[in-house]
Amino acid sequence: MNIQNFTITDIIEGYKKKEFSVGEIVNSYLERIEKLNPTLNAFLTVDKQNALKKTEGFGSNLTIEQFKNFPLLGVPFGIKDMFLTRGVRTTAASNVLKDYIPPYSATAVDRLESAGAISLGKLNHDAWAHGSSGENSDFGNTLNPWNKDYIPGGSSSGSAVAVAASLSPFSTGTDTGGSIRLPASFTNTVGLKPTYGLVSRYGVISMASSLDSIGHFSKTVRDSAIILNATAGVDGYDATVTDRAKEDYTKDLEMGIKGLKVGVPKEYINEGLSPEVKQTFENSLKILGKLGAEIIDITLPHTDAGIAVYYIIQPSEVSSNLARYDGIRYGNDRSFFGKEAKRRIMLGTFTLSSGYYDAYYKKAMQVRTLIGNDFDSAFKNVDVIVSPVSPTPPWKFGEKANDPLAMYLSDALTVTINLAGVPGLAVPAGFSHDKLPIGIQFVGPHFSESLLFKVGHSFEQETKFYKELAHLE
C-alpha cells in the first residue's frame, strides 16, 4: 500500500469506502517506520505493541455513525516526546528523563485518542524543546528527508519529519518561539501554532510557560483544522485555557479570500532575507492577489526588539521550569543536562537574580506588552498578516551549531507571534534552487484559527506545493 500521499481525509474516506482496514493502515505506517526511521531518527520510541493492540478493536465494517462520534477513527499519529503518555516512555529528548514512564497522558494526547486516533510512538526533538535546528537532542539528530545534509528545523524536528517522510499522517508539536512553524517551513508540511490559551498545556513538559503553544503538523490545512477540532478547549487542568464555545474549524475552508485585507509588515521584509526566501515570498503575495486578497503594507514597530525580549523571558521561565529536575523524585540528576539547557538555565537565572530583575526581565515584559499592542493595532486595519517563516532556507548540520546568536536569530520572524499570543499557520510556499522547502506564515488576531485555515487552504489549493514529496525510496 502506497501511503506517501495519504492525508487524514484520505484515510477516513478509504475506511468509509472499505478500501482498506485500520489494521492495514497501521501496519503500513509501522513498516515504513521500521524501514526509514533508522536513518531519519524521527521516532525515539515506536509503540508498536499498543498500536497493533488498538487495531484489534476496529472491525472491517466501520459505520458513518462511528466517524461522527470518533472523527479521527483509526488514524495513526506521532507524539512529540514533550507530551506525557501514560505507560509509554517520555524523555523530553534529554538523558535526564531517558527512562521516565509517566502515570498519565497530556490532555491533547487524551483528546486525540478519544477521537479515535492511534499513537505510533514518541518523536525526537531538541532536548527540552530548546532549539531551532533539531541539533540539540541527546539522542541524535533527526535528518531532513528532503536532503539529509540539512537540518529539519526545531525544536519539533521529529514531528515535522515524521509527516514529511510519511511515517505518520500527522503529529503533535509545541511552539514556544517558532518550534512548529520553522520545521514545517523546512520540511514542506503544514504547522499550526494556535492562540495561547486555546489548547491545554496540561501534561506537556513546560519549556516557557507563558509562551508554550500546543499545536501540530499535517500534510494539508484541512487536516490541521480536523486535528484542532479534537484538541481545542478547556479541560479543567490548565487555567490559562479560555472557555470558548466549541467551533468547527473546517466549516469556512472553501469560502475563498476575495476582498480579504492581508498585511505585509515592512520590518519582516528586510536585508536579512535570503534572495530565495524573498523571491518565494513575493511570488506568494502575487498568488494571494490573484485569489482576490488586497495586499496592504503595515508596520510592527517593535519587531527589532523581539529576539532580545524573547531570549530574556524564555530563559527566565526555562530556569524556573527546569529547577524541578533534581534527580530526587524521578529522572537523573542535573549533571545529565546538555549544553543548551545549561546555557538557558544560566541566562535565565542571571536575568531573574537580585539587582538584574528590573534591568532585564521587567523591562523585557514591558516591551512584550508593546509588541502585543503592535499586533492589536495592525489588526484594526488588516484581517491577517503574512510573512516568511525563516529568513533563510534550511542550513547544513553544524553550520550554526557553535554560534548560539546566529542560531537564535533564525527565530527572528516567529518569536513575536508567541510574545503576542496570537495564532500562526505555516504552509508550504515553494523551494530553493537546491530543492529545499520554503514556507510562509499567516498570522491572525487572537482565536482567529478558522480565518487562518480559510486563507491557508485557499493558498494551498492554488499552489499545490503540498503534493510535492521527499524522495526516500
Lowest mean pLDDT among 7-16, 58-67, 286-295: 58-67
Which grid cell is 387?
A: 510573512
Per annotation, catalytic residue among 21, 54, 80, 454:
80
Q: Give catalytic status of residue 363 as yes or no.
A: no
pLDDT band at 473 (very low <50, low <70, confident <90, very high): low
Nearest Cα residue to 56 out of 22, 81, 99, 96:
22
Identify the domain containing residue 96 by its residue range: 8-467
68: pLDDT strictly greater than 90: no
> Number of structural domains, the chain?
1
The residues with which 262 forms a beta bridge, in sequence order, are 295, 384
Q: Which three cell numbers stand for residue 259?
A: 476582498
Question: What's the whole-model pTM score?
Answer: 0.97
pLDDT band (50, 70, 90) for residue 57 = confident
- Of the candidates 94, 137, 155, 284, the residue annotated as catalytic is 155
From CA 365, how far away is CA 82, in angstroms rounded? Answer: 26
Least confident range of 135-144, 231-240, 270-279: 270-279
Which one is catalytic: 179, 224, 316, 432? 179
Query: Residue 164: pLDDT band by 50, 70, 90 thresholds?
Result: very high
Instruction: Indicate whether 472 belongs to any domain.
Output: no
CATH number (domain holding residue 287): 3.90.1300.10
CA nearest neighbour of 173 among 185, 157, 187: 157
Q: What's the whole-number average pLDDT of the chain?
A: 96
In this prediction, residues 33-48 reach a mean pLDDT of 98
Does residue 473 belong to any structural domain of this protein? no
Q: Catalytic annotation on 80?
A: yes
* In a domain? residue 3: no
The mean per-residue pLDDT over the stretch 435-454 comes to: 98
**Tens digit of each residue's pLDDT (9 = 90 or more) over 180-196:** 999 999 999 999 999 99
pLDDT one-digit tens code per residue, 70-82: 999 999 999 999 9
User: In the prediction, which pLDDT does 239 show?
Assistant: 97
**How is the beta sheet containing 76-80 ordered, strand by strand?**
43-46, 118-123, 76-80, 170-175, 213-218, 190-193, 424-431, 437-443, 384-388, 261-265, 294-298
Task: Report the pLDDT value the prediction gives residue 60, as an integer from 0 to 100.
Answer: 65
The three grid cell numbers given for residue 106, joined into one nine-digit string: 497530556
Per-residue pLDDT averaged across 390-409, rounded?
91
Q: How far apart are CA 166 and CA 164, in angstroms?
A: 6
Residue 204 falls inside a structural domain: yes
pLDDT digits (tens, 9 = 90+) for 110-154: 999 999 999 999 999 999 999 999 999 999 999 999 999 999 999
The predicted pLDDT at position 472 comes to 85
Q: How confident is the model at residue 234, as a pLDDT? A: 98
Q: What is the pLDDT at residue 166?
A: 98
pLDDT of residue 222: 98
What are the phi and psi torsion angles at 122 (to 5°)? -110, 145
Instruction: Mark whether 210 is an active-site residue.
Output: no
Across residues 347-352, what is the average pLDDT?
Answer: 94
Q: Does some domain include residue 20?
A: yes
329 is a domain residue: yes
Q: Look at residue 172 and give its three-state secondary structure.
A: strand
Residue 1 located in a structural domain: no
Is pLDDT at 300 greater than 90 in this prediction?
yes
